[in-house]
Chains A and B, each alone.
Chain A
Amino acid sequence: MIVLEKRAEPSRLWAFLAPVVAIAAAGLTGAVLFALLGRDPLLAMWTYFIEPLTSAWSLEELAVKATPLALIGAGLALAYRANVWNIGAEGQLVMGAIAGSAIPILLPEWNDPLALFVMLALGLAGGAAWAAIPAFLKVRFNVNEILSSLMLVYVAQLFLDWLVRGPWRDPMGFNFPKSVSFTDWHVLPAISGRVHLGALLALLAVAGLWLLLRRARMGFALKVMGSAPRAGLFGGFSMAQACWISFLISGALAGLAGICEVSGSIGQLQPSISPGYGFTAIIVAFLGRLSPVGALFAALLLALTYLGGEAAQLALGLSAKVTQAFQGMLLFFVLAADVLVHYRLRLQRREAKS
């Protein structure tokens, strides 16, 4: 039987290889499943993973979808490093989108480059404020942040639903649950085709978080608190501080992702503004081995699964729902492969001679 043997030091080689192994294993499993469903596995794999990379249009689309995933995933990577389990990024995304959209909806006449800055700032603030609730409840009342942050996702989504059906509904919109369309002053400028400024912001955020975790005392404090909290206290850091920083940063980035999505891609508020980016970003964070730079690459891969899902639907008549199941499966493989970094697998005979 196979037994685990803890390595004296985590393997650097496997730290690099583990995500690759996980992706390969998930792809292989997917191919087998397609074959069982009676489809040509090679064609399915091609359609899913390669074809979206062959046209300029879909490469742009890849960047568009990777933008929120990278923003949120990098923030979550930081929080999870600190052992702070923010899984409510989807709600923080929604609240960031709502806060930022207040400008184009309430002040549609404010046509000034500054308005866009204020929208982005409000997006950051909205996400951070929503994330501050579970942080406060954790620090003050010891409430499990996994459950509180998740509950607030539902609340945020219902709040958005109420807004676009109620006070923020476009009066000229034939009763559709949508806000007014944003004017050009309130839309993020494009970099190339559909790719908007958000992509650049995501790169900046990743670089900033990389620096924070690698060089800054604040990042050091987060890593210590996440790895050995009592040693962290001995180093003079505090649990509350780690909790606040993690939630505020990851929440702010989720909020930024939200306003970028609404302002850069959708152009108005509607009941559903995200296909679950906030949850998929959890997978992004882990696939990126909880490093901001890793999250950037992971975001591109997960964005590819969205595109692949759509392509497979068109070309093969496969359900787009394959995507979500595949993403979940990928996370299983990522976590399984992670074992190789810390443990050596050893074959052992079931019984020793006696």
Chain B
Amino acid sequence: MAMADAGGQDGGTAAAPHEGPGAQNGQSAPDAPPLLEVQDITRRFGDILANDSVSLTLRRGEIHALLGENGAGKSTLVKIIYGVLRPDSGRILIEGRPVRIASPAEARALGIGMVFQHFSLFEPLSVAENIALALPQGTADAALKERIATISETYGLPLDPDAIIADLSVGERQRVEIVRALLSDPRILILDEPTSVLTPQEARQLFATLKTLAAEGRGILYISHRLEEVREICDAATVLRHGRVVAEVADPRRETAASLARLMVGEDIHAVKAAPPPEEPGPPLLHVRDLTLPADGPFGVALYGVSLDVRAGEVVAIAGVAGNGQRELFRALSGERLAQGHGVIHIEGRDVSLCGINARRRAGAAFVPEERLGHACVPEMSLTDNVVLTRHAASEKTQERLVRHGLINMDAARRICARIIGEHDVRGAAPEKPARALSGGNLQKFIMGRELDRQPRVFVVNQPTWGVDAGAAAIIRQRLVDLARAGAAVLVISQDLDEIFEIADRIAVISRGELSPARPAAELDREAIGLLMAGAHEKRHGRADNGTHAAEARP
């Protein structure tokens, strides 16, 4: 059944100006050895078994999903296949022949291409230079540009070879990665979470390209935790949990998202239980009016006329593709960067536009940034110290006071820390442990707990469950909804539409630093949000394109 898509079509002639897998496609007999076999791969990192005897089979023309939670071992496995990591034991066969892949160059020579999750691009270099770096030595410059043009045209992936990566949108960058992988004419293409940074429309374009590639007889290994899209495009799936293969799914289309999720997580995921939002909306606790800020540095995004109210009792979500001003908006709301004048940002009716982050905390707000290590926490410092980090200047009325006469009361901080660890079920934690030693999910629970413990009236969080396991994510989402229903105003900035639809009462979309008006979640669907992500609401005209935007996704 996996071969069904590949049958009959001879995409190879159309696709490749050179001899490739397409040439063999038509003849592949049912009993021919599979394109790629991974057998009993084991890899250990310190005390952790990242891959425990993992096996997987990828056939020609197949789009094969590799499913699993964060930390399940997907990235380790594909890095082994691509020669970045070496396995402790196990073997890899390509078309029945055992191979040893000691480096990415060898992987490419064997016909394996890879599109990385965190793009492995060099920002100040041009598209052509970035591509040349992944090709064997001796590719002439002119010939290379020609080949880029050919591939771009064949697969509908337009690219300017002379453009500098730093000027490209996330979607365009991914295109560079894909074209780069295709230029070495891979038989096997690996994509690691390719859609996590795309709008729904861009993702659909990507799926079309992938289907073309599969139809040419290539095998595609597709890593994702987005179950709907796996059901949409994948012919088979291998599910990893804690480094082990827990299921092989012959046809994901016959599964439901829920059944796949159960395989991934090993238990049912609790859906968020929320009382409906209050009929009478409460007063706006967070009030933003016409927030405009120039870009901070050459790689920043400017904010244009952002206006938003978040009322007591509701969760408002801001959707958008990464790099459209989310980080800048968060910094402006938190006070890490001040507004340019009075009357822009109010917390509980107080004008805090020109107040720093601690003054805003004292006004009743709490903030959780996207990055846990290095922004929300000091990685090398203890959890107790990390409690002090956001609590040292808290007001007396709500808190135990941690600082007197410039000296820190470490005993009090330790008590607060122990309380947070206990109340928020932070596993593997102790007050003396460095933040770095906690897993992503537990550290995020700790950080959320640290802020919730202050009983904030306004809560602003960026990417609350990014890279967090499903169990912890469900708990965190529930806490956000509970906080709102208890009377706080909660603002969630997220790139995860599933998450947004699960918890948001109203949704706004940010694109190129502009925010669409927040509308009730019930009135919106993915399609509508996708259009907004691509900039359908942008008002300004004649402004130079700052390149952080996927214009071609616009209908």
Contact = CB atoms under 8 A, between A and B. Distances in A.
Contacts of B89: 352-353
A289 to B, nearest CB: 14
Contacts of A228: 373-375, 377-381
Interface of A: 5, 8-10, 215-218, 220, 223-224, 227-228, 230-236, 344, 351-354
A216 B87 CA distance: 48
A290 to B, nearest CB: 13
A8 B436 contact: yes
A10 B380 CA distance: 8
Contacts of B375: 228, 230-231, 234
A15 to B, nearest CB: 12
A218 B434 CA distance: 21
A230 B389 CA distance: 12
Interface in B358-393: 358, 361, 367, 369, 371, 373-381, 385, 388-390, 392-393
Interface stretch (B259-267, B402-410, B501-509): B402-410
Contact of B403 (A217, A231, A351): A217
Given A216-B408, A220-B392, A354-B100, A230 B385 contact: no
A352 B88 contact: yes
Given A8-B437, A231-B376, A234-B376, A220 B385 contact: yes
Contacts of A230: 371, 374-375
A352 B361 CA distance: 53
A5 B392 contact: no
A217 B408 contact: yes
B92 interface: yes
B454 to A, nearest CB: 14
B98 A354 contact: yes
Interface of B: 45-46, 86-89, 91-92, 98-100, 102, 334, 336, 356-358, 361, 367, 369, 371, 373-381, 385, 388-390, 392-393, 403, 406-408, 410, 433-434, 436-437
Contact of A220 (B358, B380, B388): B388
A249 to B, nearest CB: 15
A227 B86 contact: no
A5 B393 CA distance: 37
Nearest to B361: A236
Interface centre among A9, A231, A233 (most CB of B within 10 A): A231
Nearest to A234: B375
Contacts of A215: 407-408, 410
Contacts of A216: 406-408
Given A8-B437, A223-B381, A231 B388 contact: no
A228 B369 CA distance: 14
Nearest to B358: A236
Given A10-B434, A216-B408, A217-B392, 14 more contacts: A9-B437, A220-B385, A220-B388, A223-B381, A227-B378, A227-B379, A228-B375, A231-B375, A231-B378, A233-B357, A234-B336, A236-B358, A344-B46, A352-B87
Contacts of A224: 378, 381, 385, 389
Contacts of B406: 216-218
A352 B40 CA distance: 14
Contacts of A235: 357, 389-390, 392
A232 B381 CA distance: 12
30 contacts: A8-B46, A8-B437, A9-B434, A10-B434, A215-B407, A215-B410, A216-B407, A217-B392, A217-B408, A218-B406, A220-B388, A224-B378, A224-B385, A228-B380, A230-B371, A233-B336, A234-B334, A234-B336, A234-B376, A234-B389, A234-B390, A235-B390, A236-B356, A236-B392, A344-B46, A351-B102, A352-B87, A352-B88, A354-B92, A354-B98
B53 to A, nearest CB: 14
A344 B88 CA distance: 18
A10 B437 CA distance: 10
B521 to A, nearest CB: 29
A191 B15 CA distance: 88
Contacts of B87: 352, 354
A352 B41 CA distance: 11
A224 B385 CA distance: 9
A215 B406 CA distance: 8
